[in-house]
Amino acid sequence: MTFRTRFAPSPTGPLHLGHAYSAMLAHDMARARGGTFLLRIEDIDQSRSRLAWEAQIFDDLHWLGITWDEPVMRQSERMPVYRAALATLWDNGLAFACTCSRRDILAATSAPQEGQPSVGPDGTIYPGTCRNKTVQSTQPDDAAIRLNINAAVAALRADFPLSFQESLHDVARTVECNPTDLTDDIGDIVLSRKDMGTSYHMSVVLDDAAQNITDVVRGEDLFDATKIHVVLQHLLKLPTPHYHHHPLIRDDTGKRLAKRDDARAIRTYRDDGACPADIRKMVGL
């Protein structure tokens, strides 16, 4: 299959050097392989997404010389797809409603007998409070919906070890996940947030499949989250793309760049007279 990749920014702030690196790396890889490069706007968090940021992202990417080969996909337009997948998981007994607040989860995991709370790619591993509450036959829309990881592991028992191909700079390896990696290090992750009707994990898995992505190029901060994505791909019978998790661009003190770090915004470099070649040099491309 020909190489298809994407850049998937959330329009919640300016693109900074880290985003530019990710986008240029994916774009370079697609162009070098005669493949396809796509842009996806990850705007499921409508409380933080802004059209003005989206316009700025398009403008910065164009300025960097990045072009996309198909119309932009916008997550906010795909809610019916996310809802249908959630219903499939719910109907198969793989999900449950959760009414815990962050504070409830913290209180349950920091009880003295619990020891140090475990932390996974999505934060504190869910202690399971709502998992065994009265079984609801219909999926409520006023609660978060979580994946029942024990049920998922049982449903996938014939597929273990789950695996994905990880490569960077053409050095490839296979990453395997066993049931305990999932129950101990991932837990009952949120499939649908009460205020969103979906979650990053659900949407990214469904969208990568819908866009026929063969290769995901993104920051290494998402390496552990990929295990969640592989579980969802198996449960929803979707293909697993190859992954290329690249190092993060850090500031002079070694801290990773954040959206609010305006000093590293591409816009700021542009205003200061930098050219795209300067940005490439700064990120080591």
Binding residue for ligand GLU, selected from 4, 27, 201, 218, defined by CB under 6 A? 218
Q: Which of residues 15-54 bind ligand GLU (CB under 6 A)?
A: 42
Q: Which of 15, 38, 151, 204 binds ligand GLU (CB under 6 A)?
A: 204
Q: Is 121 in the site for ligand GLU (CB under 6 A)?
A: no
Residue 225 structure tokens? 């989250």
Structure tokens at 209: 């499949």
Nearer to ligand GLU, 222 or 274 (CB): 222
Nearer to ligand GLU, 8 or 232 (CB): 8
CA 237 to CA 94: how far, in whole Å? 14
Given the rule CB under 6 A, which of 4-12, 50-58, 135-143, 237-245 is the region that contacts ligand GLU? 4-12
CA angle 89, 91, 97 (to 5 degrees): 70
Q: Which member of 8, 15, 151, 230 binds ligand GLU (CB under 6 A)?
A: 8
Q: Which stretch binds ligand GLU (CB under 6 A): 7-15, 97-105, 145-153, 178-186?
A: 7-15
72 DSSP assignment: P
The strand order across the sheet containing 95-98 reads 95-98, 144-147, 190-192
Q: CB–CB of 6/42 below 8 Å?
A: no
**Candidate residues 5, 10, 49, 240; the one interacting with ligand GLU per rule CB under 6 A:** 10
CB 68 within 8 A of CB 37: yes
Q: Which stretch binds ligand GLU (CB under 6 A): 5-13, 61-69, 111-119, 162-170?
A: 5-13
DSSP state of 146: E
Stretch that binds ligand GLU, among 2-10, 100-108, 117-125, 250-258 (CB under 6 A): 2-10
Part in contact with ligand GLU (CB under 6 A); list of ranges 3-11, 64-72, 78-86, 126-134:
3-11
Total residues contacting ligand GLU (rule CB under 6 A)? 7
Q: Are 279 and 201 in contact (CB under 8 A)?
A: no
Give the residue with the Cβ less far from ligand GLU, 10 or 148.
10
Nearer to ligand GLU, 4 or 218 (CB): 218
Enumerate residues 6+ apart whose C-beta is below 8 A from 179.
Answer: 153, 157, 160
9 part of the interface to ligand GLU, by CB under 6 A: yes
Q: Is 84 exposed, middle or buried (0-12, 13-18, 19+ CB in 10 A)?
A: exposed
Name residues whose C-beta falls within 8 Å of residue 273's C-beta, 6 or more positions apart in sequence: none
CB of 9 to ligand GLU, least distance (A): 5
Is residue 244 within the footprint of ligand GLU (CB under 6 A)?
Answer: no
- Work out how close the CB of 209 gets to ligand GLU at its nearest, in angstroms, rounded to a whole number: 13
How far apart CA 268 and CA 85 sit, in angstroms, is: 40
* Nearer to ligand GLU among residue 85 and residue 153 (C-beta): 85
For the CA atoms of 222, 228, 234, 235, the dihedral, rounded to the nearest 10 degrees, stands at -140
Q: What are phi and psi of 66, to 5 degrees?
A: -95, 130
Measured from the CB atom, is 146 or 218 closer to ligand GLU?
A: 218
> At residue 160, what is the residue type?
F
Site for ligand GLU, rule CB under 6 A: 8-10, 42, 204, 218, 222
